[in-house]
């Protein structure tokens, strides 16, 4: 398995930071608390809070599963495309 480059890591961190911003913005627009979203999405409050911070553990960017993202989008009553950042990082190995 190939190692990720520093550029790839930076691109992923930027993507996750935008995802975190989107989650918070959409949650507030829906008038929900972090606990509301977590419960309705079948997540722990701690896990959801970490997604809004853009991390999975201190110093490690979040990487939620597609299932988790779909559950959150449904809870927020918004299309998945509104949750995900508009631009995606290039993660291909050349």
Q: What is the CATH number of the domain that holds 33?
A: 1.10.260.40
Residue 25 lies in a domain: yes
Residue 94 lies in a domain: no
Residue 92 lies in a domain: no
What is the percent of the chain with per-residue pLDDT over 90, rounded to a whole number?
73
The single-letter DSSP state of residue 26 is H
Q: Tens digit of pLDDT for each residue in 42-65?
A: 999 999 999 999 998 888 899 999
Distance between CA atoms of residues 57 and 79, nearest Å: 27
Distance between CA atoms of residues 9 and 48, nearest Å: 22
Report how many domains make up the chain.
1
Residues 92 and 14: beta-carbon distance below 8 Å: no
For the question of whether the overall pTM of this predicted structure is more than 0.85, the answer is: yes
Residue 1 lies in a domain: no
- Structural domain of residue 69, as residue ranges? 6-83
Q: Tens digit of pLDDT for each residue in 25-40?
A: 999 999 999 999 999 9
pLDDT of 1 > 70? The answer is: no
């Amino acid at each position: 398995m190939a190692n990720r480059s520093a550029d790839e890591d930076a691109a992923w961190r930027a993507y996750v930071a935008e995802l975190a911003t989107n989650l918070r913005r959409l949650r507030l627009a829906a008038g929900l608390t972090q606990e509301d979203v977590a419960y309705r999405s079948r997540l722990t409050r701690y896990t959801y809070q970490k997604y809004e911070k853009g991390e999975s553990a201190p110093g490690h960017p979040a990487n939620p599963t597609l299932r988790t993202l779909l559950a959150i989008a449904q809870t927020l009553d918004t299309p998945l495309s509104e949750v995900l950042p508009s631009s995606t990082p290039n993660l291909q190995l050349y």
